[in-house]
């Protein structure tokens, strides 16, 4: 079938390659067009076979998966789904250098079947883009210390780790605002993401705890299984999901709406790469409250989904490429309040 999703499997274990092939081809819309036993062979076959999607192990001989991901995304961009039992920090590193998504392997391979098939199908619909380069540090900006705290509310999903690293690495250590961010991820990986982001982030960055005081020069990432909200007392409030209609926990909409309600014109909403529409209602709330709103553009988005819907709903003030978002945040902060 000409319209099948063509997949290349890269893994050093013959047993795993066979298991992944069996899982993927159990879905009639997927065809495994080749396998590779190490990263070097994977890079070569990616060029030769031109698959729709690559599944990539990370620990392999000759060339490991990290180097293979970097080579493919720089030279011959193809959507890559990491399938690995590696340490979460290594998986996060793969995401920051260009992998689109990941399927953590723990125990029985059959247990990952639905997740793997779903993520391969999503990846097949993505227009591959070359690996983002982390740009040199921006010129130091001088800030007039605001009378009131400005809060930046960021929502991001698929493609987020790499985009967040590129964005947050350019936020200066003396940034006067507070940043609240929701990243949709598989459970158990947010701590690893934060640890990885610490290597390139100048501000304090942490997984939020209930009762954390919201302060400048600090980035708060929403934890697993809890909605993160800004409270009237100037502190973070973590709540468990009480509304079955809310698909994502944590929810970008819940976080952004709380920021809009508390900080109003002192809020800046930023919606980035990701599938679905979580965050659109939150962006509407920030704009309605008098705050400023920014969306990542289509060209630099792994998936132009949440940001596309926000743009179509006319709740976005500026649409800019990833590398321009920090400058737009600075300018928006000067206009808020």
> Which sequence positions are flagged as catalytic?
157, 184, 278
What does R_g of the chain's alpha carbons equal in angstroms? 20
Bin 214: left if φ > 0, else alpha if -120 < ψ < 50, else beta.
beta
Nearest-CA neighbor of 259 among 144, 147, 155, 143? 155
Contact yes or no for 181/156 (Cβ under 8 A): yes
Q: What angle do CA 68, 74, 78 make, to 5 degrees?
A: 70
Strand order in the sheet with 53-56: 30-36, 5-10, 53-56, 80-84, 101-104
191 Cβ contact list (under 8 Å, min separation 6)? 88, 207
Record the tokens describing residue 177, joined without a space.
Answer: 């605002």
241 Cβ contact list (under 8 Å, min separation 6)? 227, 249, 251
CA 165 to chain centre: 9
Burial group, residue 318, by CB count within 10 angstroms (0-12, 13-18, 19+): middle
Residue whose tokens read 């883009």: 129
Q: Is 204 helix (H, G, I), strand (E, B) or coil?
A: strand
Contact yes or no for 232/262 (Cβ under 8 A): yes
CA distance 86 to 106: 10
Peptide bond preceding 157 in cis form (omega within 30 of 0): no
């Amino acid at each position: 079938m000409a319209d099948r999703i063509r997949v290349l499997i890269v893994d050093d274990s013959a047993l795993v390659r066979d298991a992944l092939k069996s899982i993927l081809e159990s879905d009639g819309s997927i065809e495994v067009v080749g396998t590779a036993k190490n990263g070097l062979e994977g890079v070569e076959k990616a060029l030769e076979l031109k698959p729709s999607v690559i599944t990539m192990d990370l620990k392999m001989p000759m060339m490991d998966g990290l180097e293979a991901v970097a080579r493919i995304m720089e030279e011959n961009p193809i959507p890559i789904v990491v399938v690995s039992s590696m340490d979460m920090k290594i998986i996060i590193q793969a995401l920051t250098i260009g992998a689109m998504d990941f399927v953590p392997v723990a125990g029985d391979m059959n247990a990952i079947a639905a997740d793997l098939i779903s993520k391969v199908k999503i990846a097949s619909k993505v227009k591959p883009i070359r690996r983002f380069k982390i740009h040199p540090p921006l010129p130091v900006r001088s800030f007039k210390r605001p009378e009131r705290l400005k809060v930046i509310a960021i929502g991001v999903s698929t493609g987020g780790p790499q985009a967040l690293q590129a964005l947050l690495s350019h936020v200066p250590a003396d940034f006067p605002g507070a940043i609240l961010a929701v990243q949709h991820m598989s459970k158990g990986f947010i701590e690893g993401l934060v640890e990885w982001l610490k290597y390139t982030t100048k501000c304090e960055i942490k997984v939020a705890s209930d009762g954390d005081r919201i302060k400048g020069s600090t980035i708060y990432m929403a934890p697993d299984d809890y909605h993160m909200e800004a409270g009237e007392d100037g502190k973070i409030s973590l709540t468990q999901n009480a509304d079955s209609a809310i698909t994502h926990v944590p929810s970008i909409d819940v976080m952004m709406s709380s920021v809009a309600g508390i900080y109003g014109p002192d809020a800046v909403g930023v919606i980035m790469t990701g599938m679905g529409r979580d965050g659109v209602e939150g962006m509407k709330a920030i704009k309605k409250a008098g705050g400023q709103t920014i969306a990542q553009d289509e060209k630099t988005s792994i998936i132009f989904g949440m940001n596309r819907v926000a743009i179509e709903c006319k709740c976005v003030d500026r649409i800019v490429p990833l590398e321009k978002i920090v400058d737009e945040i600075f300018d928006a902060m000067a206009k808020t309040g």
